[in-house]
Structure 1
Amino acid sequence: MATTLNLVGAGHVGRVLGRLLARQGGFAIGQVLTRSPASARQAVGFIGAGQPVERYDQLQAAHIHVLAVGDDQVGAACAALAAAVPLAGSIVFHCSGALASTHLQAARDAGALVASVHPIRSFADPAAVAGHFDGTYCGVEGDAGALAALMPMLTAIGAQPVPIDAGAKTVYHAAAVFASNYLVTVLDAALRAYQAAGVPEDVARRMAQPLAAESLANVFRLGAAAALSGPIARGDMATVARQQQAVSAWDGPTGALYGNLIEPTTALARRKSR
């Protein structure tokens, strides 16, 4: 007997999960509910299975309900689902990286097991992600019974589930921001600083690329402490002070960013020395 799934919200993440599960075998996509009938039809077309619906009361009972909605909609979507569909004995999970499964209390009160499953990928190109999903890490947490059922499902579509602490879900999500978003911000500061020294932007990118690429490679090969180099790692704090003063004189916010990075980098250097 196939495991039935309903999708509430079918943006990029929901569409990718739906397509992968529909193609896996052993899973049947039931109803797909999105903000508009048109987007629901488009989602079903991408997934290759399912029935587009317009309202929560058109959803039918299913083994698993996936809430692939925005973070600010998780609570409301869960409450609407619990009010419209019998959930006793089913599993409800959301895909938010920032919210814990505790935000699904309405489903739990209705008798469902709850969890969160957060695929750690950029979903800008859903078709590309669906075509190369193998090895994708997914942070998971929630009720033990829900995870026992979801772990094999995720493994079947090529994911690598990683249990996380629900109480640290926001810190967990911030890790991705540090590894991706803020990394871009720091690199932008480097590129602008090169340009302030008279280096053309295209040349600045070529100059920074080997430094950044080698540093990243060393972090993932050796660990962050061992990969650290530069004046703080050498204990040359006089150079650091001169740099902070010069950068602050050139651009105040970038100087503040430089200054804010001194203390954590000094702590990292102490770990390196140990």
Structure 2
Amino acid sequence: MTSLNIVGGGRLGKSVARLAHDSGRYHIGALLCRSQASALAARDFVGAGVALTALADLPAAGITLLAVPDGEIAGVAAALATAGVIAAGSVVCHASGVGEAALLAPLAVQGVHCASLHPAFSFADPARAVAGFAGARCALEGDAAALPLLQGLAADIGGVPFVLAPGGKAAYHAALSIASNYLVTLHDLAARVATQAGMADEVAAAVLGGLMRQTLDNTLALGPAAALTGPIARGDAGTVAKHRAVLSAQDDALYCALGAATARLAATRLTAAQQQALAAALAPPAV
């Protein structure tokens, strides 16, 4: 049975520890937090482990997960290296979405296998996270010697692990942010414009929500180029001009930026004349 320490008893740390404990394949060694109260609360949630507050008291473990805020990872790694409590040949990983395994460099120098494990999953509530984690994708990168053990951990807690290319962490996190955050921004833009048509909020939510869900299903099934529909995909510069005429300056700037990217996506199905017309229709207003 693999031993697992968790440094940081927040939502992610508690959830991963509980999932690992419930799998029956891991011995939870320590749950380390800033305060004893937090450590005890984490232990009670997990149902196993020793509540600790001092890095120097960490027991030996096959895997140590640093579930601390991104800005604290490097400092905790340095403190662990100074404390000398992580054995060479063991694995230490952090759970940052954008940070590389290089944040753990002080430990790597000591022969520790360093990596990162980032579940592409929301841990807003630990109890809900534990109940719904199955099938969550988990991104791994770092020391090749650490990856088999972490692939096993991700799979044992119900996740689906995949390995990123070296140096690919920032691009990975940017992709997630675009897919998640910018989808929300697009919804906000569409809803704001819908009010100009006199659509009540509940009507706009139903119309836009249904269309966005259908479009997302289509692009995931068919790919972006094949799923694209609408005036730009048809080369309809006249309709684009009518859209722009009713938009505020702020919304028009967003519309044009997205329109130019959409025109590039549709380029293979458009004639040269259509592409030129769309470029003119999407050009910034003259000053």
Matches within 5 A, 1:33-52: 33-52=32-51
Once the two structures are superposed, residues 147-197 of structure 1 have per-residue CA deviations (whole angstroms, 9 ceiling, x without a partner) of: 022212221222111111231211110111111111001101101111122
Instruction: Tell whether 2:223 aligns with 1:230.
Output: no
Q: Distance in 1 between matches of 2:249 and 2:94?
A: 41
Q: Distance in 1 between matches of 2:116 and 2:237?
A: 45
Are 2:25 and 2:156, in contact at CA under 8 Å, matched by a contact in 1?
A: no
TM-score using structure 1 length: 0.93
Question: In structure 1, what is the equivalent of residue 254 of structure 2?
Answer: 257
Q: Which segments of 5 or more consecutive residues in structure 2 lack a partner in the other structure?
A: 271-287
Deviation at 1:272?
6.1
Once the two structures are superposed, residues 80-129 of structure 1 have per-residue CA deviations (whole angstroms, 9 ceiling, x without a partner) of: 12222133111000111111111111110121001111101111122122
Question: In structure 2, what is the equivalent of residue 203 of structure 1?
Answer: 203
Instruction: Tell whether 2:246 aligns with 1:270.
Output: no
Once the two structures are superposed, residues 186-225 of structure 1 have per-residue CA deviations (whole angstroms, 9 ceiling, x without a partner) of: 1011011111222121211112121111101101111111
The number of aligned residues is 270
Deviation at 1:132?
2.4
Over the residues paired in the alignment, what is the CA RMSD in angstroms?
A: 1.6
Deviation at 1:253?
2.1
Q: Distance in 2 between matches of 1:61 and 1:156?
A: 21
Deviation at 1:238?
2.9
Q: Which segments of 5 or more consecutive residues in structure 1 lack a partner in the other structure?
A: none
Deviation at 1:34?
1.7
Q: Distance in 1 between matches of 2:73 and 2:86?
A: 18
Deviation at 1:270?
2.4
Are 1:108 and 1:114, in contact at CA under 8 Å, matched by a contact in 2?
A: yes
TM-score using structure 2 length: 0.89
Q: Distance in 2 between matches of 1:37 and 1:254?
A: 50
* Matched residue SS, 1:167: coil
Q: Distance in 2 between matches of 1:190 and 1:93?
A: 40
1:120 and 1:272, CA in 2 relative to 1: closer, same or farther beyond 3 A? Answer: farther
Q: Match of 1:25, as an amino acid?
A: G
Q: Match of 2:97, as an amino acid?
A: G
**Identical-residue share of aligned pairs (%):** 43
* Matched residue SS, 1:144: coil
Deviation at 1:241?
3.1
Matches within 5 A, 1:67-216: 67-84=66-83, 85-216=85-216
Q: Distance in 2 between matches of 1:9 and 1:41?
A: 12
Deviation at 1:77?
1.2
Q: Distance in 1 between matches of 2:268 and 2:48?
A: 52
Q: Distance in 2 between matches of 1:17 and 1:213?
A: 30
1:217 and 1:271, CA in 2 relative to 1: closer, same or farther beyond 3 A? Answer: farther
Are 1:87 and 1:107, in contact at CA under 8 Å, matched by a contact in 2?
A: no
Instruction: Tell whether 2:15 aligns with 1:16.
Output: yes
